């Protein structure tokens, strides 16, 4: 009798727990709210992701890029090697020297030509200046993301200095088309060296002020420290790159591990941090800017006084059949081109492998489990530029 009773009791208990579980499940499903962030959103830019929130916590995230997918890779197959340059720099218009840098390297390998030494130095200078321009723009947007208007105005103003330098060098504000297979388009103008040194010295002083007003700001620190932890193993597994990777404690910089052009003659340190949080991801680009100043100074110092800046190509050059894979370190990490040539004057296949597209894989990983209010500082610290990721 007692046995029977206990059995029936157990059954009842089981049933009720089952029922209860179902009720709880339903309740959680009900409690979830689906939000669509972007593409019209002050933060997300040209990008959309759907999230589900339970109260204040994000439990699900699904990125949906492609709002600026313009078919660059298909267009490359219809233009010859030189005609491809202007449209290939559009994906990252404010880092345009770097995105054409690796394209030129890859095409040079296919054409079998080498850049004159002075041309290599000018390329590297333009690339470092452009990295500053990119990072300053990124920092300005990060500032306005977190409601720090001063941090929008300062970098946006200082960015114009480097834009001035690049305008003097290349003749255009942001779309330079400066790197071409075989070298750079033109030599540096008179008085560029002095002006460049002057601006870089001024900018180094400004960087200290940035640190004081932004990175040492207790409000900023509270919002970013220990938010969005991406451990070293996760960072390697997810295949993130650039500043995101270096903020997770992996000292990986293409300029160091696979030096291209003149970077093996430059003395610089790979900047990385081991705290793995959003603060580190925001701070590493800042450290990079500081390191870039050193690099620019060294490059100006070591540059040969005179010489050719570009190899003369025949018109409409034809590549040797084969393939090449070249990469550079851009503002957002390793940026590589894979080009297949079939012996004609047009590439057979161009694959642009960009840092942003790899970093976005970390977004669902970081957002799930964090609070809704942390979304902006996690998202923009990933160093993501949607136009580049969509290509």
Partner 1 sequence: MIKDLINPTNFNLMVSKVSDVLVGALDKPLGYAINWGRIWSLWPVHLETACCSVEFGATSSPRYDCERFGIIEAFGSLRQCDLIVVQGTVTRKMAPRLRMVYDQMADPKYVIAMGACSITGGLYIDSYNVLPGIDGIIPVDVYVPGCPPRPETLIQGCMLLQEKIKRSKIK
Partner 2 sequence: MYVIARENKKVENKMTDTNTNTESNTNNTNKSSNLKIVESDLKIENSLYSELSSQFPDKVQLVYTKPKRIKIYVKPENIIEVAFFLRSHFGLDHAESVCGTDYPNENVIEVIYHLNSYSREELSQIIFALSTKTDRNSSYLPSLLPVFKSVEYHERETYEMLGVYFKGHPRNERFLLPEDWADIPPLKKDFRIKGR
CA geometry: angle 136, 140, 142, nearest 5 deg: 115
Show the site string, 309-348: x = touches ligand SF4 by CB under 6 A, - = not: ----------------------------------------
Q: Is 41 in the site for partner 1 (CB under 8 A)?
A: yes
Q: Which stretch binds partner 2 (CB under 8 A): 8-16, 129-137, 180-188, 323-331?
A: 323-331
- Rounded CA-CA distance 161/196 in Å is 9
- Rounded CA-CA distance 47/44 in Å is 6
Q: How far is CA 88 from CA 67, 97, 106, 233, 384, in A?
A: 17, 10, 13, 33, 18
Specify the 3-state DSSP secondary structure of 231: coil
Q: Could you say which of ligand SF4, partner 2, partner 1, none residue 159 binds, taking C-beta under 5 to 8 angstroms by partner kind? A: partner 1
Size of the site for ligand SF4 (CB under 6 A): 2
Q: Could you say which of partner 1, partner 2, ligand SF4, none residue 156 binds, taking C-beta under 5 to 8 angstroms by partner kind? A: partner 1
Residue pair 158/143 in contact (Cβ under 8 Å)? The answer is no
Size of the site for partner 2 (CB under 8 A): 53
Q: Is 141 in the site for partner 2 (CB under 8 A)?
A: no
- Rounded CA-CA distance 283/244 in Å is 10
- Interface with partner 2 in residues 226-285 (CB under 8 A): 236-239, 245, 250-252, 256-260, 262, 264-267, 269-270
Q: Is 204 in the site for partner 2 (CB under 8 A)?
A: no
Cβ 51 to partner 2 shortest distance, Å: 17
- Rounded CA-CA distance 248/244 in Å is 7
Q: How far is CA 154 from CA 59, 119, 220, in A?
A: 36, 33, 16
Cβ 352 to partner 1 shortest distance, Å: 14
What share of residues in the chain are helix, strand, coil (percent, to 5)? 55, 15, 35
Strands 183-184 and 322-330: unpaired
Residue pair 309/119 in contact (Cβ under 8 Å)? The answer is yes
Q: Is 93 in the site for ligand SF4 (CB under 6 A)?
A: yes
* Strand extents, DSSP E, the chain: 32-37, 48-54, 57-64, 179-180, 183-184, 322-330, 333-341, 347-353
Single out the residue of 18, 173, 221, 302 in contact with partner 1 (rule: CB under 8 A): 173
Q: Which residue, 52 or 90, has its beta carbon nearer to ligand SF4?
A: 90
Specify the 3-state DSSP secondary structure of 77: coil
Phi, psi at 181, each rounded to 5°: -55, 125
Cβ 45 to partner 1 shortest distance, Å: 5
- Interface with partner 1 in residues 62-91 (CB under 8 A): 66-71, 74-75, 78, 86-87, 90-91
Q: Is 112 in the site for partner 1 (CB under 8 A)?
A: no
Q: Could you say which of partner 1, ligand SF4, partner 2, none residue 160 binds, taking C-beta under 5 to 8 angstroms by partner kind? A: partner 1
Q: Is 302 in the site for partner 1 (CB under 8 A)?
A: no
User: Exposed, middle or buried, 211 (CB in 10 Å: 0-12/13-18/19+)?
Assistant: middle
- Rounded CA-CA distance 369/236 in Å is 20
Residue numbers of the site for ligand SF4 (CB under 6 A)?
A: 90, 93
**Residues interacting with partner 1, by CB under 8 A?**
39-42, 45-46, 66-71, 74-75, 78, 86-87, 90-94, 137, 140-141, 153, 156-157, 159-160, 173-175, 387
Residues in touch with partner 2 (CB under 8 A)? 65-66, 69, 71, 73-75, 78, 108-109, 112, 114, 117, 120, 236-239, 245, 250-252, 256-260, 262, 264-267, 269-270, 320-323, 325, 327, 334, 336, 338, 340, 348-349, 351, 353, 357-358, 360-361, 390
């Amino acid at each position: 009798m007692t046995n029977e009773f206990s059995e029936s009791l157990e059954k009842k208990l089981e049933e009720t727990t089952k029922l209860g579980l179902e009720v709880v499940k339903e309740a959680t499903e009900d409690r979830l709210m689906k939000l669509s962030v972007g593409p019209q959103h002050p933060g997300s830019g040209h990008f959309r992701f759907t999230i589900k929130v339970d109260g204040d916590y994000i439990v699900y995230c699904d990125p949906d890029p492609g709002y600026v997918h313009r078919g660059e890779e298909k267009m490359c197959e219809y233009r010859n090697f030189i005609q491809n340059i202007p449209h290939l720099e559009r994906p990252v218009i404010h880092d345009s020297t770097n995105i054409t840098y690796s394209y030129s390297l890859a095409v040079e390998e296919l054409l079998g030509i080498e850049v004159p030494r002075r041309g290599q130095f000018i390329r590297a200078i333009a690339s470092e200046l452009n990295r500053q321009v990119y990072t300053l723009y990124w920092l300005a947007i990060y500032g306005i993301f977190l409601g720090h208007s001063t941090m929008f105005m300062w970098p946006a103003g200082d960015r114009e200095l480097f834009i001035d330098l690049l305008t003097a060098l290349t003749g255009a504000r942001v779309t330079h088309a400066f790197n071409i297979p075989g070298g750079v388009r033109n030599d540096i103008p008179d008085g560029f060296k002095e002006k460049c040194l002057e601006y870089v010295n001024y900018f180094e002083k400004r960087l200290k002020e940035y640190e004081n007003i932004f990175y040492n700001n207790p409000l900023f620190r509270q919002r970013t420290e220990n938010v969005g932890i991406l451990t070293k193993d996760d960072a390697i597994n997810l295949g993130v790159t650039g500043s995101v990777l270096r903020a997770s404690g992996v000292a990986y910089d293409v300029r160091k591990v696979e030096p291209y052009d003149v970077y093996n003659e430059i003395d610089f340190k790979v900047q990385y941090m081991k705290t793995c949080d959003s603060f580190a991801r925001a701070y590493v680009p800042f450290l990079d800017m500081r390191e870039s100043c050193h690099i620019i100074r060294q490059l100006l110092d070591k540059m040969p006084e005179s010489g050719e800046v570009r190899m003369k190509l025949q018109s409409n050059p034809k590549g040797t059949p084969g393939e090449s894979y070249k990469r550079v370190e851009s503002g957002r990490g390793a940026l590589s081109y894979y080009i297949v040539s079939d012996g004609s004057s047009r590439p057979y296949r161009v694959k642009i492998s960009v840092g942003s597209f790899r970093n976005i894989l970390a977004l669902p990983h970081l957002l799930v489990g964090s609070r809704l209010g942390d979304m902006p500082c996690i998202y923009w610290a990933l160093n993501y530029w949607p136009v580049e990721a969509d290509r």
